[in-house]
């Protein structure tokens, strides 16, 4: 059985270690945990490895956040992976910093990456790991906030939460969405 894990973010040094790139950061942590490296491939940085007997393809789309659906759909098709065996990792303004929430479907809200995936698939029924980044910004400054770097306190918090996210993804792959949600959501 094969799984596609898509960590969403933006390419380029100016976006590295920003709140909006938490999907890339967690994808990197998962790849490191599996001892695999990313290579540049079509529409994404791509790494491939195994978790026990499950084959895992990890991508970080190079399409920029707003066109994430193009890379996600392309790699689902090329790798012949069912949507139910995929997981999109994405930042979420509606969750407090560090909160991890796995869902099997849902709206894209104000997240352009999720909305592009919904547009490309024609539905909102794909698993996603929402990673809370909070919403501590003044009205009209959302873009500056999501593209901003973590504060020292946030950095410390995420250093503790990223390994939990990796374990959550591995649980999702090995024991399914329901078990992973019951074990990790709201914890």
Active-site annotation, residues:
20
Find out whether 47 and 38 touch, Cβ atoms under 8 Å. Answer: yes
What Rg, from alpha-carbon coordinates, does the chain have? Answer: 15
| Structure token pair of residue 48 | 């491939």
Residues 85/76, Cβ–Cβ less than 8 Å: no
The DSSP code sequence of the chain is -EEEEEE----SGGGTTBGGGHHHHHHHHHHHHHT---EEETTEEEEEEEETTEEEEEEEESS-GGGHHHHHHHHHHHHT--GGGEEEEEEETTS-TT-EEEESS---TT-HHHHHHHHHHTSS-S-EEEEE----S-TT-HHHHHTSBPPHHHHHHHHHHHHHHHHHHHHHHHH-HHHHHHHHTT-
């Amino acid at each position: 059985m094969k799984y596609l894990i898509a960590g969403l973010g933006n390419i380029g040094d100016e976006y590295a270690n920003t709140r909006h790139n938490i999907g890339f950061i967690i994808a990197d942590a998962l790849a490191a945990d599996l001892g695999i490296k990313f290579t540049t491939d079509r529409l994404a940085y791509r790494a491939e490895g195994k978790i026990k007997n499950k084959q895992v393809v990890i991508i970080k789309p190079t399409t920029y956040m707003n066109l994430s659906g193009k890379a996600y759909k392309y790699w689902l098709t090329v790798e012949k992976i069912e949507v139910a065996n995929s997981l999109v990792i994405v930042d979420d303004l509606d969750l407090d910093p560090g909160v991890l929430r796995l869902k099997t479907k849902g709206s894209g809200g104000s997240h352009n990456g999720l909305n592009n995936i919904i547009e490309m698939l024609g539905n909102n029924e794909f698993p996603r790991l929402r990673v809370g980044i909070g919403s501590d910004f003044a009205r009209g400054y959302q873009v500056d906030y999501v593209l901003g770097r973590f504060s020292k306190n946030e950095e410390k918090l995420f250093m503790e939460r990223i390994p939990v996210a990796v374990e959550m993804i591995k649980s999702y792959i090995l024991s399914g969405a329901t078990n992973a949600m019951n074990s990790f959501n709201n914890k």
